[in-house]
Amino acid sequence: MANQFLEIPDSFWSLFRSKNRQIYIDALLQVNEEYQYSNYYLSREICIQTLSDHFAKQKVTLEQEETEDDFDLLEPLSTRIVNWLVRTGWLRKVEDYNAMTVNIVIPDYAAVFVDAFVHLSGEEEDETQVYIQNIYAILFAFKNDPRSNISLLKTALINTRRLNKTLQDMLHNMDKFFGSLLEQKAYGDLLKEHLDGYVEEIVRKKYHILKTSDNFYLYKADIKKWLGQMRQDVPWLLQVCERNKKLRGLDIQAEDLIKQLDLIERGFDDIEHRIINMDKEHIRYVRATVTRLHYLLNREDNMKGLVIQVLNHLSQTEGREEQDREAQRIGALMNLSQMTVISEKSLYKRRRLKTDFAESLKDEEETAELSGEDILRLNKVHNRYTRQQVNAFILERMEGGRLEVTRDMIGSREDFEKLVLAYDHSTRKDSPFKVREEEAEMVDNGKYRYPRLVFERRNK
């Protein structure tokens, strides 16, 4: 590789500094495609015609380079591109005096970069598919071909490591999609970014390869089985060692073969771990996307969305004193003591007796609906007392595992709030007590009005 670096001319790197960089890269991709189609033998006329046909479908403006003069600007677009690429060393002219033609070839050092451009443009077959099929074919040949040698195992190990590296690159590049979530300010833009970006680039092209029927796990099962069979077949390993010594003069021991097999199996274990991590990242991204979509869709009507807007507004205010002044102004208009979730379901619903069908058709006694302030106040109660405090309020007053709520039992607001929470806890399976299934009459002690509930200790 060091010798190829010495062959690269200094003008070669000017492509990456040029304003026409993307045009030149696109032209190199087209030349490379035609170069392979023509069996790596491309005349200058065909090269120019290929670029002319390609750029005729696009509106391309080629800015003047520092090395170009006024005569170069008179040339057609495709001719200017070819001349510049030849002048900078990305292409090379080879004159065929017998055929009286000039051929265009891609130098070895330039071919390395062109391959990288092809890879970055996503035009190649997915590497995860190529590598796993290579490993499968190599190990099958090593196991069944009588001419096999240790070099096949080394090639399989190289492909295993390359597959690991490819999966690791995929895993590391997934985090860029998390950043794009916060950049999108509209619901439609985020949904388009998710479908055209993440779903198209990651799920369909890469993640899909690992999870469909024709995937890594289809080959992995056979490869794991072959590795175990070859490792345990000592006579066969000795035959392979003898074959390498006779045909190639290599002094190979069975331990060397087992070591290579162990390294390949270890590589496959690493691949599985990386796929598990990709699954976690995939689930995390989908959840984050759904949360972000829900926020963008409901931020004007959702309590969390409104609170986030207030915090964003405060963060944009410059100066500590100005922030305090703005917070006081907002606090005078809004109740920011805590975030509450108001449920449409009432805290207590009168239970009906088990009667016949005719009785069940009778209209239920209508109960007075609570006002919005009452519901808000009762919801705040949930965060005021712990579950232990509520349970102790009932258990300490039980006699013989039974407690009937009487008129004299509730004398303060704290007692009333704990009673409401105790009834709510009694409906859960982990509650130490329950409410007896019968219709309770209403009790009015002058301050509070509540059902005459009967709490009984659960049998654990």
Q: Where is pLDDT greater, at 403 or 218?
A: 403
Tokens of 338: 């805590």
pTM over 0.75: no
Put the strands of the sheet holding 454-457 in their side by side order: 402-404, 454-457, 433-435
215 phi/psi in degrees, rounded to 5: -130, -170
CA distances from 340 to 331, 337, 377 (A): 16, 9, 10
Tens of pLDDT, residue by residue over 185-243, are 666 666 666 656 666 556 655 555 555 444 677 788 888 888 888 888 888 888 888 87
Q: What is the mean pLDDT of residues 30-46?
A: 81
Q: Where is pLDDT greater, at 332 or 265?
A: 265
Q: Where is pLDDT greater, at 275 or 231?
A: 231
Tens of pLDDT, residue by residue over 316-364, are 788 888 888 888 887 777 655 544 444 555 455 555 555 554 555 555 4
Specify burial of residue 338 (Cβ count, 10 A radius: 0-12, 13-18, 19+): exposed
Whole-angstrom Cα distance, residue 411 to residue 326? 42
Tens of pLDDT, residue by residue over 353-393, are 555 545 555 554 455 565 555 555 555 555 567 888 888 88
Q: What is the residue-averaged pLDDT of the chain?
A: 77
